[in-house]
Homo-oligomer: A and B are copies of this chain.
Amino acid sequence: MSGRPEPVDAIDAILNPRSIAVIGASASPEKAGGRRWKTLVEAGFDGPLYPIHPKAADILGRKAYRSVRDLPGQIDLAVVIVPPADVPKTVVDCVAQGARGLVVITAGFGEINEAGKIIEAELVRTAHKAGARMIGPNCAGVFSGPARMNVVGWETKAGSIGLVSQSGNIALDFADFSRKSGVGFSRSVTIGNAADLKAFELIDYCLRDPATEVVLAYLEGFGPLEGRRLCEMVKAAPVPKPVVILKPGRSENGRRAALSHTGSLAGEDRLVDAAFRQYGILRAYEVEEAWRTAMSLVDRVPMRTNGIAVLTDGGGHATLFCDAAGLVGLATPGLSGESRKALAALLPERCPVANPVDFAGVAEGEPHVIPKALDICLSDPAIGAAVMVGHFGGYDRLGGPTLTPLEIRAAEEIAAVARRHGKPVQVHSVHADSNPPAVKVLRNAGIPVHRAIEMPAKTLQHLLRATQDAALREKGPAAAITPGPMPKLADAVGAPLWLQEPEARAFLSDWQIAVPEWRVATSAKACSAAAAAFACPVALKLIAPAAMHKSEFGGVLLGIEGSKNAAAGYRTLMERAAAASLKDARVMVTPMIRGGVELVIGALRDGQFGPAIMVGLGGIFVELLADVSFRLAPVSESMAAGMLDDLKGKALLKGYRGALPVSMKAVAVLLARLSEMMATCPQIAEVDLNPVIATEDAALIADARIVLKP
């Protein structure tokens, strides 16, 4: 054993072990066990390393053993790379030898067939019985910088990004970007089939890990409620850390099969997007974007406003950058008079004194103007970050070797100016990939240098969001809402179980959700009396356990005036009920709602993210444009107001064509209470409030259906 501390738990035994055995180590780099043994030996792990091999006496200079059982000491971590049939017995031996951490690289289990899943479950049982945890099977391996341990089989640079990847090849991809950008990993864990340890558990480790500054993950999907757990872990992290997740799914067309309208709109990916935004997780869609965002966050220089100063060697790159920046909501504001005066004094007349600052060839001969102009720009209060675009670092390729030292000096000064101002500075250069000396200086100082001109725009957008999220987090939680009762299963009807409209309205009322008045009539006389009592035009609705969709039965009569018509309406609805053989039919009477803007509001319980709410504009907006916004429940009133701001047709709410603006506050209150109800009552599967009529002073629920879980 080395002088390392005893691991605090099984995950720690994997990422900070005192001793490691590799079962299936080999001297041949063509073999999976050969290349992992090689990177492990070369990484400089300072505790005992045991290769296990059926014949070899030693492998790369380390004494080999026939079996784990033969080892001279206890082991913390066992890495398993043996044929699939040998894995179960090997795992039994490993835990017998004290291993609390297992990394099973061997493939051929749950990813192939059901038999494989059964073996996986058996491996997990073996591990858990011994207090051990397992990564894999079918994973690429694990790298841990602080432990100087590398069993992924490829060169991995140490640093402070903690990577959790559902794919070995994507981890390989990130390792390539890491090597080129000079920023490394604290941990790099590929989870394979994740039979035991899940992505969210390893992300949780990274959130608590002092060696990790930024958490990066590649995830394709979540197990039951894992999305929710991930979000809550990020929120609860003792030290807030940026989390960047590369998650495909933009072009997914699959929609959740569901009973209600709300459900059918909850495309998984929209919920992922909403949840990530809500919990301050930065989402990337491309490998390079994810990597460059993570590396830009390592130093966590805050970006406090969306204004960017652009410094450029020429007009073309400036135009392309401004276009990319505008597309992601960043601005390139005009500079102050003072800034412009200082720039005019610095630069010759032919350089336009504006934002972008165009060096028009000056910097290519006198690179020292760049840090000077940067200093002026970063002093401007409108500026939150600066980006230099062009071909810095390669001026010497055009102007000859006398420029090399001038560029290096300029790079040092750029880094110093950036540090002094505490604002993010990023560089785009045509020569970024060939890493010339001046670019190296910038990278060593923590200034990202990109080859693609849209990259600084994409990463700064994430940086701005991360800064804003951190500020929000400091403001503390929203005021709590007084919870209402649980729904009574006794009130529910049908299969699936659901609350008919009067019972749904009553339940919402109990949750202090404002519902327009209603009465239930079981006779023409009662119906007539109810209409008379309201003293205004009413709607009559046929209520019956088998009539979840009233309109299919002609079950809604609108604009009924007077008690006589109400009685006639009652009889009409009852005739329709009889014609459709609907049992236990009743009629609900409620005042007509006039004017206002139609909304669709709903709630659902997602398999990955749990309770969530939705709001959209009704009619064509929701049906043709799917113009809806989601959040995980619960939400505060101000978050709910943010949902309305997401809608493409939001202008309709703000007094369109001379109409009065609707009460955003009333809608937000309804959403917040609904979300609290959804989060509090696990029996509720789905809620449909469709439509809700938003008026200048209220959000009036015109129809309500609540589906319960049996």
Contacts and interface: CB of A to CB of B under 8 A. Distances in A.
Interface of A: 28-30, 35, 107-108, 111-112, 153-154, 165-170, 172-173, 176, 180, 218, 220, 246, 248-253, 285-288, 313-317, 319-320, 322-327, 349-350, 360-361, 365, 390-391, 397-400, 402-403, 430-431, 433, 452-454, 620, 624-625, 648-649, 651-652, 656
Q: Which 4 pairs of residues, A with B, have the shortest CB-CB distance?
A: A167-B316, A251-B326, A248-B323, A29-B400
A433 B430 contact: no
B625 A220 contact: no
A30 B250 contact: no
A30 B249 CA distance: 50
A656 B250 contact: no
Given A323-B251, A624-B651, A398 B35 contact: yes
A326 B254 CA distance: 12
Nearest to A650: B624
Number of this chain's copies in the complex: 2
B316 A391 contact: no
Nearest to A358: B111
A648 B623 CA distance: 12
Given A250-B326, A251-B326, A620-B656, 15 more contacts: A30-B365, A35-B398, A108-B350, A154-B397, A169-B314, A169-B391, A169-B430, A172-B391, A176-B431, A220-B319, A251-B322, A252-B323, A286-B452, A288-B452, A624-B652
A429 to B, nearest CB: 10
Given A169-B313, A349-B112, A400-B28, A648 B620 contact: no
Contact of A287 (B111, B173, B320): B320
B30 A173 contact: no
B317 A167 contact: yes
A250 B361 contact: no
A163 to B, nearest CB: 12
A168 B656 contact: no
Given A218-B316, A365-B30, A454-B286, A390 B169 contact: yes
A169 B30 contact: no
A430 B30 contact: no
Contacts of A651: 624
A29 B430 contact: no
A354 B448 CA distance: 40
A112 B348 CA distance: 11
A317 B107 CA distance: 18
B317 A170 contact: yes
A327 B431 CA distance: 30
A274 to B, nearest CB: 18
27 contacts: A28-B400, A29-B398, A29-B400, A30-B399, A35-B400, A107-B350, A111-B350, A165-B316, A169-B390, A172-B430, A173-B316, A173-B317, A176-B431, A218-B316, A248-B323, A250-B323, A250-B326, A251-B322, A251-B326, A251-B327, A287-B320, A288-B452, A620-B649, A620-B656, A624-B649, A624-B652, A625-B648
Nearest to A329: B251
Nearest to A361: B107
Contacts of A656: 620, 624
A656 B166 CA distance: 43
Contacts of A168: 314, 316
Contacts of A107: 350, 360-361
Contacts of A111: 350, 360
Contact of A248 (B173, B176, B288, B320): B320
Contacts of A218: 316
Contacts of A167: 314-317, 319
Contacts of A176: 430-431
A286 B453 contact: yes
Nearest to A109: B350
Contacts of A361: 107
A36 to B, nearest CB: 10
A5 B652 CA distance: 68
A39 B191 CA distance: 53
A357 to B, nearest CB: 15
A446 B399 CA distance: 34
A325 B398 CA distance: 39
A153 B286 contact: no
A617 to B, nearest CB: 9
Nearest to A454: B286
Nearest to A171: B316
